[in-house]
Amino acid sequence: MSTILIIFCVLAAITLSTAFLTIFSKNPIHSAIYLVICFFSIAGHYLLLNSQFLAIVHIIVYSGAIMILFLFTIMLMNLNEEREVHRPRITRLGAIVSFCLICLVLIAIFINSKPIVGEYVTTGEDYQSIKVLGKILLNEYMVPFEFASILLLVAMIGTVLLSKKEKLQK
């Protein structure tokens, strides 16, 4: 059991437990904070996989942007206390059943499948430095990259559309 594996296991444990805690926390603020921790642990995974740039982007986008958005919304709506209505038992049961089911099914399939034999390929080439990523992103993936801007544009317009008060015109 190598150090790396131990690190992986620790990180995985943190990821999973914080993910669970996110869901089980009654207070949305707590959920958010657990989620941030979860994201950080995932960033740890990225680092472990030696993709530093991605890790940093991940932290910036998720923890920095998305989670702030969440927290902002929670604050805005004053949701920092548990207001959730009592969940019917059937809902919880259904959730748990489907969770178990989907977990079991997916894991069973992957266990059933024949294991990957042999060494993993190591080309030794640089494939995940910022430089390479940038090249790929702006050469091969130029079109999707631009298209992602359309996506963000749409989201932007949409958010404005949904939030902006209408000037009533006669």
Partner 1 sequence: MNTLIAIIGLGVLCLLFEIFNLRKAIVPIIIIGLLGVLGLTISEFNSTESYYNNMIVVSKFSSTFSSLFIVLTIFLVALGHNFYENHQSKISDFIAIKVFLLAGAVAMVSFGNLAMFFLGIEVLSISLYILAASNRMNLKSNEAGMKYFLMGSFASGIILFGICLIYGAMGSFDVTEISELSQSAELPIWFPIGIVLVTIGMLFKVAAVPFHFWAPDVYEGSPALTTALMSTLAKVVATATLYKLLSVMNADISESFKIIVVVISMASMTVGNIMALRQTNVKRMLAFSGISHAGFMLMTLLSLSTSAGSLLYYASAYSLSGIAAFSVILYVCKNRDNEDIVNFHGLGKTNPLLAAILTASLLSMAGIPIFAGFFAKLVLFNQTIQAGYLALVIVAVVNSIISVGYYFKLILAMYTKEPNEERKGTPVIIYAVAVIAIVLNIALGLFPSLVLDLLS
Partner 2 sequence: MNNILNHIGIENYIFLSVILFCIGVFGVLYRRNAIIVFMSIEIMLNAVNLLFVAFSTYHQDAQGQVFVFFSMAVAAAEVAVGLAILVSIFRNLGSITIDNLKNLKG
Partner 3 sequence: MEMNTNIALVLVLAPFLGFLINVFFGKSLGKWLSGIIGTFSVVVSFIATAYFFSGISAQPEGIHISLFDWIQISNFNVDFGFQLDQLSILWLLFVTGIGSLIHLYSISYMHDDENMHQFFAYLNLFIFFMITLVIGSNLLVMFIGWEGVGLCSYLLIGFWHKNQEYNDAAKKAFIMNRIGDLGLLVGIFILGNLFSTVDFTTLKTAITTAPDYNDFWVAVAALALFIGACGKSAQIPLYTWLPDAMAGPTPVSALIHAATMVTAGIFMITRLNFLFDLTPSVQSIIAIVGAVTALVAATIGLVQNDIKKVLAYSTVSQLGLMFLALGLGAYEVAVFHVITHAFFKACLFLGSGSVIHALHGEQDMRNMGGLKKAMPITFVTMLVASLAISGVPLFSGFFSKDEVLLVAFHHNIPLWIVASIASIMTAFYMFRLMFLTFFQEFRGTSAQKHHLHESPSLITIPLIVLAILATIGGLISLPGNSWLNGYLTPVLPKLANAEHHLGTTEYILMAIAVIGGLVGIGIAYAKYIKQNTVPTEDAEITGFSKVLYNKYYVDEFYEAIFVKPINVLSRFFRDTIETALSALVFGFGKVTNEISYQGKKIQNGSIGLYLFVFVLGLCAIVSYLFLAQ
* Residue 160 token pair: 């404005």
Alpha-carbon separation of residue 119 from 47, 65, 116, 122, 126 (angstroms): 21, 39, 9, 9, 19
Nearer to partner 3, 73 or 98 (CB): 98
The mark string for 81-110 relative to partner 1 (x by CB under 8 A, - otherwise) is: ----------------------------xx
**Matching residue, tokens 């631009």:** 146
Q: Which of 3, 112, 122, 123 binds partner 1 (CB under 8 A)?
A: 112
Which of partner 3, partner 1, partner 2, none interacts with 142 (beta carbon under 5 to 8 A by kind)?
Answer: partner 1
* Residue type, position 139, single letter: N
Burial of 70 by CB count in 10 Å (0-12 exposed, 13-18 middle, 19+ buried)?
middle
Nearer to partner 3, 94 or 134 (CB): 94
Binding of partner 3 by 106 (CB under 8 A): yes
Which of partner 1, partner 2, partner 3, none interacts with 108 (beta carbon under 5 to 8 A by kind)?
Answer: partner 3
